[in-house]
Amino acid sequence: MGNLIKDGGIVNDNWQLIESLTDDEALRLPEGDLILPLVLWVQQSSLFEQRGSWPGLWIEGNQELETIKHLIALAPVIAVEFSAFTDGSGYSTGSLLREVYGFEGELRAFGELIIDQVPYLRRCGFNSIALPDGQSLEDGLELLMNSGLTYQGSVFSPRTPFKFRYSKVGS
């Protein structure tokens, strides 16, 4: 994917996104860290089991999670694809992965995103964000670093709006 924003910095991405495999490749998977679409991931799972390391999992923004619960536990990276920047289903998917499925690996957002969405994505649990061509990672990172106060906190530490404010006024 080239560079991406990860954990508060811009890093070179060493994961390779594999959209499909030729028959030949399927017999001998490329080396390195791979992220595979759900279907391929399942198809190739025995190979990876032999290798003893699991690939990253590529899912759609609105992927049903209950049915892939067992995979979530194995995947080192889950990459959620945003098919359009106006399709916000992935925000809930990310939140659920952290909040309900206890996913602690790299949670990546990629697809048709714009820089203005970076802070929202972070607060929904995505710790790595790949932006499409034309969207500046530096600008996205700056927005992330300068994003200020919020009423809700994040999926990691949610709060109600008045949580830390009501005690200040001795009403």
Which among 108, 109, 113 is positioned nearest to 133, based on CA atoms?
113
Q: How far is the CB of 15 from other proteins (least distance, A)?
A: 24
Distance (Å, whole) CA 76 – CA 71: 10
Residue 85 structure tokens: 């920047």
**Whole-angstrom Cα distance, residue 87 to residue 109?**
13
Burial of 13 by CB count in 10 Å (0-12 exposed, 13-18 middle, 19+ buried)? middle
Question: Residue 85 Cβ, how far from other proteins at the closest point, in Å?
Answer: 7
Kindly tell me which of 9 and 161 has the beta carbon lying closer to other proteins: 161
Q: Which of residues 115-144 bind other proteins (CB under 8 A)?
A: 116-117, 119-121, 123-124, 143
Shortest Cβ 78–other proteins spacing (Å): 16
The structure tokens 């699991």 sit at 54
The interface mask with other proteins, positions 39-78, x = CB under 8 A, is -----------------------x----------------
Question: Which DSSP letter does residue 158 get?
Answer: B
Give the residues lining the site for other proteins (CB under 8 A). 62, 85-89, 91-93, 95-96, 99-100, 114, 116-117, 119-121, 123-124, 143, 148-154, 157-163, 165-169, 171
